[in-house]
Structure 1
Amino acid sequence: MKLIASDMDGTLLNKYWRISDENRAAVLEAQAAGIHFVIATGRPYTNVNVIIEEAGISCPVISLNGAQTHDASGKLIASQPLSKQQVRAVHDILLEEGMYFELMTEQGAISLSHDRYVEIAQYYGAMELSHLPEVERHETVLRMCEERIRNERCQFVDSFERYLNDDQLDILKIFALTTDEECFNRCDERVRQLTGLAVSSSAHGNLEVNAQNGNKGYAVQQYAASLGLEPSDIMAMGDGFNDLSMLKMAGRGIVMDNAPDSLKALIANRTKRNTEHGVAYAIRQLLEEKGLSAASEIASSVER
């Protein structure tokens, strides 16, 4: 394995949506040992960059499920936007069904309702942060919502029409959420009937729509090819169905133990939960297999 690709939420990030010291150290060890590391996430680049800079990690970022790829210096090197016709078709379905959704653009996320976004976030926060007291959980979710709004440059508008009719603005992904399972199922079924799209879900009640080649598998494979690497050279880790394309493409796809059972049934290799530093565990297994370690690499470079 010469390249490691990792998802973020539920994978590289802990329950507080940060990179743990253990995961950070393991990533740096892999890079010191000469193994390429790339993040592949549904998040937009601006949000990812804040988190990896905080952790002291420098690496390429595949964002918005594969819609964009930036190199380690921040230069955009690949893009897979949706066509305006595709956006209009999905927009009409989601609006008709009443599902909350955002248009993800280079200018930031475009939404129709701040309050509805926070309401849905609180609903899922009650499950994901159930270990916290109610008041602390509520405040934590509010803080995370405001952090996301700031980092992703979210804009709240009365209508999407201006953006649907702007031929100069690329819409890279449509991100949708609902707490209503029946609404989700209807939207999922209807959107999947459209052609030329990559439709996935990274969490319960979440629907993500990209252009056909705007998926993690295609983006990671293309990035690897730019380095002269084959899929057999790639180790990929993830926990959601928006990770499935890269987990199946990679020579070693590894699913997190916190992933849904339906995803774990499709991928043979397993690592620990994201809250147990599963990324670090998998990386160190790889380094041991290759007989590499940060310490030995640094020592050999000093000797040379």
Structure 2
Amino acid sequence: MKLIASDMDGTLLNKYWRISEENRQAVLDAQAAGIHFVIATGRPYTNVNVILEEAGISCPVISLNGAQTHDANGRLIASQPLTKQQVRAVHNILVEEDMYFELMTDIGAISLSYDRYVDIMNFHGEIELSHLSQQERQDTILRMCEERIRNERCQFVDSFESYLENEQLDILKVFALTKDEECFKRCDARVRELTGLAISSSAFGNLEINAERGNKGYAVMQYAASLGIEPAEIMAMGDGFNDLTMLQMAGRGIVMGNAPQALKDLIPLQTKKNTEHGVAHAIRELLATVDVVR
């Protein structure tokens, strides 16, 4: 394998949304062995970069599910924005169904309601942070919300209209959340009736809409091709359905132990959970085979 592509949330990151020391060292060891490492995440680049800098890892970043690719120096090298007509059609559906959503743009995330965002994050935090006490959960969720708003340059506005009409602004992804499963199902079904889109979900109640080529599989393969690396020479790791395209295209697609069973049914190779440093485990297995070959 010549390139490793890793998702972040539920994959490279632990339960505190940080890179564990085990994962950090495994990534650095893979790079030292001459293997390229690239992040492929639904998060925006500005958010990812903060986490990588904290861990002391330098690598290219495929962000917003494949809508943007930055090299290790932070230079934008590829972009797959939605058209304004596509965003308008998605916007109208989500407004009609009253699903919370944000426009992820090249100037940051745009939202209509801070309070609604925090309310939904509290709901999801009750599930994801069940290992913490009630007070610790509340403190952690509030800290993560404030951190995300700062790192992703979130703006809270009264209307999306000016952004939908601005042809100079790139809208790269529509990110939607709900606590209502029936609302999610309706929105998912209606959005899938539209054409030219890549539609995925990375967690319960989450809907992510990109341009057709704004998916992780296309972005990883495009980046690999720029290095002369074939799909068979790529190892990819992820835990969500927004990872499926790259897991299927890679020569070695590996699903996390914490991934939903439906994804595990599609991807036969599996590693440990993200809370058990599954990325490090998979990289160590790969490096052991490299050492044998040498």
TM-score, with structure 1 as normaliser: 0.96
Report whether the alignment pairs 1:19 with 2:19: yes
**Separation (CA, whole Å) in 1 of partners of 2:218 and 2:265:** 22
State the Cα deviation string for residues 125-160 of structure 1 (Å, max 9, x = none). Answer: 001100111011111100000000000000000100
Alpha-carbon displacement from aligned partner over 1:89-112 (angstroms, at most 9, x marks no partner) = 000000000000000001100000
Give the distance between the partners of 2:149 and 2:198, measured in 1 at CA.
25
| Aligned amino acid, residue 154 of structure 2 | C
Alignment correspondent of 2:243: 243
2:28 corresponds to: 28
Q: 1: distance between equivalents of 2:292 and 2:62?
A: 26
**Separation in structure 2 between the aligned mates of residue 159 and residue 253 of structure 1, nearest angstrom:** 41
1:24-173 pair list within 5 angstroms: 24-173=24-173
SS in structure 1 opposite 2:187? helix
Give the TM-score, by structure 2 length: 0.99
Size of the aligned set, in residue pairs, is 294
Question: Secondary structure of the residue that 1:270 maps to in structure 2?
Answer: coil
Cα deviation digits, residues 236-262 of structure 1 (max 9, x gap)? 000000000000000000000000000
What amino acid does structure 1 have at the position aligned with 2:80? Answer: Q
Partners of 2:190 and 2:158 in 1: CA distance: 25
Distance in 1, matches of 2:17 and 2:152, equals 15
Unaligned runs of 5+ in 2: none
The equivalent residue for 1:253 is 253
Q: Deviations along 1:158-192, whole A, 9 cap, x unmatched?
A: 10000000000000000000000000000000001
Shift, 1:226, TM fit: 0.1
Alignment of 1:265-304 (within 5 A): 265-291=265-291
Cα distance in 2 between the residues matched to 1:292 and 1:242: 33
* Residue aligned with 1:198, SS: strand
Spell out the pairing of 1:158-197 with structure 2 (5 A cutoff).
158-197=158-197
Q: Residues 187-216 of structure 1, C-alpha deviation per residue, up to 9 Å, x if partnerless?
A: 000001100000000000000000000000
Distance 1:76 1:130 in 2: 38
Alignment-derived partner of residue 300 in structure 1: none
Aligned to 1:216: 216
SS in structure 1 at match of 2:73: coil
Whole-angstrom CA distance in 2 between matches of 1:16 and 1:108:
23
Gaps (5+ residues) in structure 1? 297-304
Contact 1:129 1:137 in 2 (8 A): yes
Q: Which amino acid aligns with 1:81?
A: P
Q: Is the 8 A contact 1:33 1:292 kept in 2?
A: no
CA distance in 1, matches of 2:190, 2:149: 29
Residues in 1 aligned to 2:27 and 2:76: alpha-carbon distance in whole angstroms: 22
Percent identical pairs in the alignment equals 79
User: Hey, what's the Cα distance between the residues in 2 that align with 1:85 and 1:32?
Assistant: 45
Alignment RMSD:
1.0
Aligned counterparts of 1:34 and 1:127: Cα–Cα separation in 2: 39
Shift of 1:53: 0.3
> Are the counterparts in 2 of residues 37 and 59 from structure 1 also a CA contact under 8 Å?
yes
Name the CA distance, whole Å, in 2 between partners of 1:292 and 1:16. 35
Segments of 4+ in structure 1 off by > 6 A? none
